[in-house]
Amino acid sequence: MPPSRDRYPSQQRRGKRPPPRPKRGAAPQDKRPRTPAPRVVFEDQHILVVDKPSGLITADPTTPNADPRRSLFGWVKRYVRRDRGPGRHAWIIHRLDRDASGLLVFAKSERAFESLKEQLGKRAMHRVYAAVVEGEGEPTATEGTVQTYLVEDRDGRVRSIGPLAGRAPVGRDAQFARPAITHYRVRERGRGRRMLAVRLETGRKHQIRVHMAERNMPIVGDRIYGRADDPLRRLGLHATELGFEHPITGETVRFVSRPPASFYKAVGALPPAGTPDDTPTEPTEVADFPDETGSADEGWETVAEWYDDLLEERRSDHYDDVILPGALRLLQRDRPPTGLSSDNHPTTRVLDIACGQGFLARELAGAGCEVVGLDASPALIRAADARKSAHEQYLTADARDLPELTEELGGRATFDAAACVMAIMNIDPIAPVFEGAAAMLREGAPLVLVLLHPAFRAPGRTGWGWERHGPSTRQYRRIDAYLSESSEEIVMNPGRAAHGHKPVITQTHHRPLAAYVRALASAGFTIDAIEEWASQRTSEPGPRADEENRARREIPMFMAIRAIKSSARLSSS
């Protein structure tokens, strides 16, 4: 007898028949192997490190009527709630593709969540993957680095839209592009395949899969980006190493998950003999991997002084996704002869004011410029010097004393462009900075400033708030003061200071936009561009995520000003 219509109403409406009821004792029809259970690698009251099996999604599924328990995060939430006491909640820090496997860390306290997210955003996490790819390649080719801008299409596929090379992305997709850097080293080869050790410098969606496919070595089992065979019956990608600073103790911790034996067999190699699956092997040393500047420790070895903490706090996804691409674009003015490395100026000389550890200077040098960076901190200059290329020069100098550099630079004291990125708020007064820059720039050259938005992001004067807005809740930005100038002490390492480390305190100075306009005009500059940039971060899924993302895109975080040196000079009055 067929089932009644009201028994399966949704299926009848769609014209589908209900699934047949299996006979008692019959084997299930689905012959696919069941996904193994996750393995807990480490746990304390604040963090949980898990070895994810292939075939299990990381976050809760978003498809309609999906069971949230059928995800690693669902499993983790059930796992941490099994005990009474502290640490009974869980937060996602990062993710792995469904068909990938390996190590993930989850937070069990808010302190741990904030610290781990901060480390991930600052590229302070050590993450190494094993990847089995097609093609043995040249026997002498043992390592490489892929650096491109990635953009995600509407269908969820990711693609590159051009190399980094110190340049901003171009084209209609440029505003959605994100920089991505992948380092790899060949570990084994055979049977027409290679097994790679891959280190991520950034963590974009499908980054390894896209970069390897674009190097003509797609990951085996990758049905999206061009696999030719599937010897593993899964994606050949496994997160083998995970390292970070413990969010409470400050201790550096490392965890290892050996690649599956099938990875070795796929390239005709034997798995390490005598090593049980649950016995960690020695983690890969960071120095095994190349980087974009040729320095084995750049971005991975910590500097033993306080200033590295400061810089690690300041360098973030905001720099990589918003600040650096925007600053480079503004310096690349379309009208010659000011464009970087233009025909009229094949080697553009750029002055990086308050350069810090040289993040912008290295990008500019990669674009073919000669760069002179200066900073008042000798420690920061030493850090920049340790990583500089042949096209970079760093000097210890106060940004308010630029004319004094003329003698030290000799006949090379004239520049084609200048920039002061995320530093002008920490300098007072600003008039000498702009006057000194004008003295060192040729006529028609740009000065680019990037700063926290003076209206919406003034420390101590603005903040987020929530209010009811009809049936929903609306997030807004509260502004308590704007026109008056002020100074505030800022803790530059809030994450580590909250965990007992010595706070690094600097002074930031709030000024309204009019103060910058007056000072630039008085120094002989004409402003030709003002841009307001929003954060590109997105909130983790939750009831307020959509509203937080809306507010984040509507209320800018940064302001960029491009001023051109002109012959006219206004009175400071």
Per annotation, catalytic residue among 51, 67, 83, 97? 97
Whose tokens are 């006979």? That residue is: 23
Contact present, 58 and 74 (Cβ < 8 Å):
no
Beta bridge partners of 189: 194
Whose tokens are 């307020």? That residue is: 544
**Beta 47-52 vs 39-43: how paired, if at all?**
antiparallel
Cis bond before residue 429 (omega within 30° of 0): yes
- Residue 71 is encoded by which pair of tokens? 């995800």
| DSSP run (H or E) holding 327 | helix 324-331
Alpha-helix runs per DSSP H in 49-165:
72-80, 110-121
CA 422 to the chain's CA centroid: 17
- CA-to-CA distance for 240 and 558, rounded, in angstroms? 37
Closest-CA residue to 476 (of 572, 425, 389, 548): 548
Provide CB contacts within 8 A for 15, sequence distance 6+.
Answer: none
- CA-to-CA distance for 116 and 245, rounded, in angstroms? 8
Provide CB contacts within 8 A for 408, sequence distance 6+.
Answer: 395
**Beta 558-565 vs 417-421: how paired, if at all?**
unpaired
Q: Is the Cα dihedral 341, 344, 348, 353 positive or negative?
A: negative
Residue 523 φ/ψ region, left for φ over 0, alpha for ψ in the -120 to 50 degree band, beta for the rest: alpha
- CA-to-CA distance for 368 and 363, rounded, in angstroms? 9
6 is catalytic: no
Concatenated DSSP letters of 167-197 = ----STTGGG-EEEEEEEEEEEEETTEEEEE
How many residues are given for the chain?
573
Name residue 259's amino acid: P
- Residue 343 is encoded by which pair of tokens? 């025909």
- CA-to-CA distance for 374 and 351, rounded, in angstroms? 8
Alpha-helix runs per DSSP H in 341-478:
359-366, 378-385, 405-409, 431-440
Tell me the CA distances in angstroms from 28 to 21, 24, 234, 522, one per residue in order. Answer: 11, 10, 22, 80
Active-site amino acid positions: 97
